[in-house]
């Protein structure tokens, strides 16, 4: 009856084992073969003094199954105490002995068996009967905890799903709720199930018409329903309740019973509402960002000249190329300025403000127009312009600290001399006689990094046929590569196209091509 997975005690037959008080064991087995349920025939195992030391299963019905899962004839030969050790000394054990001694049938209270091994339910409950038969015992049992386990599983499932079942007997007007339905409605169990007439008093007024229509489909038409409505809970809150139900009809098609469940969807609805609110927030942020990009693009278009053009300034030709990181969203901080000054000299400026968006565009505009104003009105040299722009950037009220790199150059056509200074910007590339070289860098830290910067200028005489490239770092930066690698690629591309009429286009096609860019690109190509 109660067997563990590690125990299956069998012993060689002893003298007298073949019969039970004169009735052969095979005959008992033949009788048990015709019985349903769990029934076994136990023979006592006695000591030399005649006391019962154990019982052995001598025959078993085909449907007999023990706690370890063995069935029928697989139980034959099993020793009770060796296989089910916790039976020893129990009420069941004493019941066996009393029935064997007195000849009276034993039928006690339900017996709780405690298993000591892993892999088998620790506690199980059985209803056991034992009747004397031919100096042995006919024992039958029914396992009670299987149904209880199923009920527990159902209870756990209802609790985890926050749902409970409900039945309506429409003929006798009887409503039955599971315990979880009371929790769904927040109703005291002593009040009993809520009637269909009482339900509307708990439903929000705006949900009543749809719920009434749903109930009509269920009770009058016998149609299955799946509907969610809101109720007021005892604490004054609002709960979202789902009803799923179907009706059973009689021979005339009239509903006589309704079976279904209620489910509390309040938590799910709250999560859904939070998700919708987040989606609205994200949508609003995207709309704001799109508006900001459009505004920044319009500002940049208004502040900068055309993104690609060719200018004649004094005896110089200046070709300009500007390519944003994303096509159609020219909202970066790269910028340039190329203008002939009142004294006939030429101002060349290129810069790169950290970041993108309105802040970058605003800073770019501030630096661009300030540099041009200083050069035009005061004739300030390049290194002084950078120093004053650094002070301007540090003391301008902004939401975040902004930095920028920059080159300011002034070309005198009378002497063909170019005087330039830099603030953390990459070195200009000179292409002369088909050979490319980068100009030596004068001292100059990027703008906005310190309130005590040092800027110096350098000079270069431009010869006829010279090409000078001023560029931002987007032209030479490449993910996974060093800046030196990018500088080498730029020099090689310039030398390879030294004789091309459109050298700037060739360089851009080689270095950028159709691949994705990771930053804005601005290039000034200056030649005499």
What is residue 121's predicted lDDT score, i.e. its pLDDT? 63
Vertex 204: Cα angle to 202 and 208 (nearest 5): 95
Q: Which ranges in 55-136 belong to alpha helices (H)? A: 80-83, 91-102
Average pLDDT over residues 213-235: 87
**pLDDT class for 204, splitting at 50, 70, 90?**
very high
| pLDDT value of residue 17 | 45
User: Which whole number is the average pLDDT over 87-96?
Assistant: 90
pLDDT at 18: 47
Please state the separation of Cα 505 from the chain's center in Å: 46
- CB neighbour list of residue 408: distance below 8 Å, 6 or more residues apart: 347, 348, 349, 371, 375, 382, 385, 386, 420, 421, 422
Q: 174-181 contacts: CB < 8 A, separation 24 or more?
A: 179/155, 180/155, 181/261, 181/262
Assess whether pLDDT exceeds 60 at residue 221.
yes
Could you tell me which CATH number the domain at 19-146 has? 3.30.450.20
| Res. 420 pLDDT band, cuts 50 70 90 | very high
Asked if 351 contacts 368 with a C-beta cutoff of 8 angstroms, the reply is: yes
Determine the pLDDT at residue 15: 39
Report how far Cα 341 is from the mean position of its chain's Cα atoms: 60
Mean pLDDT of 101-127: 77
> Considering only the top CATH level, what class is 153-269?
alpha beta
Looking at residues 90-95, what average pLDDT do you find? 91
* Lowest mean pLDDT, pick from 112-116, 290-294, 339-343, 498-502: 112-116
For residue 12, pLDDT over 50 is answered with: no
Q: How high is the pLDDT of residue 147?
A: 56
**Residue 323 or 513, more confident:** 323
Least confident of 147-161, 189-203, 427-441, 483-497: 147-161
Q: Average the pLDDT over 75-82 and give the result.
A: 91
Q: Looking at the predicted structure, is the pLDDT value of residue 484 above 50?
A: yes
pLDDT level of residue 466 (50, 70, 90 thresholds)? very high
Q: Does residue 3 carry a pLDDT above 50? A: no
Indicate the pLDDT class of residue 148, thresholds 50, 70 and 90: low
Which residues of 251-393 form beta strands (DSSP E)?
Answer: 255-264, 308-313, 316-323, 332-340, 346-356
528: CB partners within 8 A, 6+ apart:
315, 316, 317, 416, 462, 463, 464, 465, 466
**Residue written as token pair 């009803």:** 243
Among 71-85, 255-269, 502-516, which stretch is predicted with the lowest mean pLDDT? Answer: 502-516
User: Which pLDDT score is estimated for 7?
Assistant: 35
301 vs 330, which has greater pLDDT?
301
| CA gap 440, 428 in Å, rounded | 9
**305-527 CATH, one of 2.160.10.10, 1.20.1250.20, 1.10.10.10, 3.60.40.10:** 3.60.40.10
Per-residue pLDDT, averaged over 118-145, amounts to 82
User: Reading across the β-sheet that carries 225-232, which strands appear in turn?
Assistant: 174-177, 163-169, 255-264, 238-249, 225-232
Confidence (pLDDT) at 122: 66
Give which of 268, 272, 406, 297 is closest to 356, Cα–Cα. 297
Pairwise CA distance, residues 383 & 494, whole Å: 28
What was the pLDDT predicted at 5?
34
Mean pLDDT (whole number) for 358-384: 83
pLDDT of residue 13: 39
pLDDT digits (tens, 9 = 90+) for 310-350: 899 999 999 999 877 655 444 667 889 999 999 999 999 99
Average pLDDT over every residue of 362-390: 87
Q: What is the pLDDT of residue 199?
A: 84
Mean pLDDT of 90-114: 88
What pLDDT digit, counting tens, does each position of 29-57 carry? 999 999 998 999 999 999 998 899 999 99
For the chain, the average pLDDT equals 84
Q: Which of 15-19, 26-30, 270-274, 490-494 ranks highest by mean pLDDT?
A: 490-494
pLDDT higher at 467 or 528: 467
Per domain, the residue ranges of the chain are 19-146, 153-269, 305-527
pLDDT at 149: 58
């Amino acid at each position: 009856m109660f067997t563990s997975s590690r125990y299956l005690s069998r012993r060689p037959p002893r003298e007298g084992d073949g019969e039970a008080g004169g009735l052969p064991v095979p005959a008992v087995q033949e009788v048990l073969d015709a019985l349903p349920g769990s029934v076994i025939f136990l023979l006592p195992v006695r000591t030399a003094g005649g006391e019962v030391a154990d019982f052995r299963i001598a025959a078993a019905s085909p449907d007999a199954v023990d706690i370890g899962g063995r069935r029928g004839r697989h139980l034959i030969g099993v020793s009770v105490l060796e296989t089910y050790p916790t039976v020893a000394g129990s009420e069941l054990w004493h019941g066996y002995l009393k029935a064997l001694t007195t000849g009276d049938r034993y039928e006690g209270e339900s017996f709780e068996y405690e298993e000591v091994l892993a892999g088998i339910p620790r506690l199980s409950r059985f209803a056991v009967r034992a009747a004397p038969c031919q100096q042995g015992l006919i024992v039958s049992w029914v396992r009670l905890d299987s149904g209880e386990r199923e009920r527990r599983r159902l209870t756990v499932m209802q609790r985890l799903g926050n749902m409970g079942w409900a039945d309506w007997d429409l003929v006798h007007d009887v409503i039955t709720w599971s315990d979880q339905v009371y929790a769904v409605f927040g109703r005291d169990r002593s009040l009993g199930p809520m009637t269909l007439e009482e339900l509307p008093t708990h439903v929000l007024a705006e949900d009543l018409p749809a719920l009434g229509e749903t109930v009509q489909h269920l009770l009058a038409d016998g149609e299955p329903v799946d509907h969610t409505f809101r109720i007021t809970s005892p604490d004054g809150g609002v709960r979202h309740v789902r009803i799923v139900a179907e009706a059973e009809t009689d021979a005339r098609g009239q509903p006589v019973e309704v079976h279904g469940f209620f489910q509390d969807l309040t938590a799910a609805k709250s999560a859904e509402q939070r998700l919708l609110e987040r989606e609205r927030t994200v949508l609003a942020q995207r709309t704001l960002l799109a508006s900001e990009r459009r505004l920044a693009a319009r500002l940049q278009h208004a502040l900068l000249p055309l993104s690609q053009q060719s200018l004649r300034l004094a005896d110089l030709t200046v070709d300009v190329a500007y390519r944003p990181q994303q096509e159609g969203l020219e909202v970066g901080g790269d910028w340039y300025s190329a203008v002939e000054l009142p004294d006939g000299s030429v101002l060349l400026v290129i810069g790169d403000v950290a970041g993108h968006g309105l802040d970058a565009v605003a800073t770019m505009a501030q630096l661009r127009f300030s540099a041009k104003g200083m050069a035009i009105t005061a004739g300030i040299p390049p290194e002084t312009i950078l120093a004053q722009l650094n002070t301007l950037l540090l003391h301008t009220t902004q939401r975040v600290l902004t930095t920028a790199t920059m080159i300011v150059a002034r070309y005198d056509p009378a002497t063909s001399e170019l005087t330039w200074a830099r603030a953390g910007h990459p070195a200009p590339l000179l292409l002369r006689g088909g050979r490319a070289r980068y100009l030596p860098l004068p001292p100059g830290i990027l703008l906005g990094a310190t309130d005590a910067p040092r800027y110096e200028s350098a000079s270069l005489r431009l010869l006829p046929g010279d090409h000078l490239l001023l560029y931002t770092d987007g032209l030479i930066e490449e993910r996974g590569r060093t800046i030196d690698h990018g500088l080498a690629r730029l020099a090689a591309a310039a030398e390879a196209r030294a004789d091309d009429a459109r050298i700037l286009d060739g360089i851009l096609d080689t270095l950028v091509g159709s691949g994705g860019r990771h930053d804005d690109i601005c290039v000034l190509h200056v030649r005499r």
